[in-house]
Amino acid sequence: MSFSLVFLLVVTAAKGPAPSLACWPSTKRVERSYPDGSLEEWCKESDGMRTGPFQAKYSNGKLLSEGKYSSGRKDGLWRYFWNNGVKWREEEWGFGELKSSWVNPIVYTLSREELAALGAVSDAAPVPKAKVEKKPK
């Protein structure tokens, strides 16, 4: 007598990343999804003021940015990532006021096209060309 086990795997594919933000007990979780599959999540108080953690994710599920709000203003450490997961920027906020920031030095070596491919800039808007005026001789 032989037994064979058959496993049935059911996979459901949802467009975009799964929500993962945990809000404080006195707040409500809000989610905004975009046509490209990206997602933003934040917490708000009953008056609509953003308070608590915030996250934005690329359509591939990787973290785009994270931080927290206090009474509707950025507060504490905010981190920003490229769509490959590499951190490219950090900001320290004090109740809505930017205190300090750090930018990954590799940013300065990449072209606009490379930055767009990483999700750091929108490739929809062209870079304005600088006008060079020639002085008359």
User: Among residues of the chain, what percentage have pLDDT more than 70?
Assistant: 74
How much is the pTM? 0.72
Better-scored residue on pLDDT, 79 or 131: 79
**Which residue shows structure tokens 């490219």?**
88
Three-state secondary structure call for residue 118: coil
pLDDT reading at 90 higher than 50: yes
**DSSP assignment of 16-52:** SPPP-----TTSEEEEEE-TTS-EEEEEE-TTS-EEE
What's the mean pLDDT in 44-69?
94
**Residue 55 pLDDT class (50, 70, 90 cuts):** very high
- Every domain of the chain and the residues it spans: 28-117
State the pLDDT at residue 133: 52
State the pLDDT at residue 126: 43
45: left (phi over 0), alpha (psi -120 to 50) or beta: beta
pLDDT reading at 58 higher than 80: yes
CATH dotted code for 28-117: 2.20.110
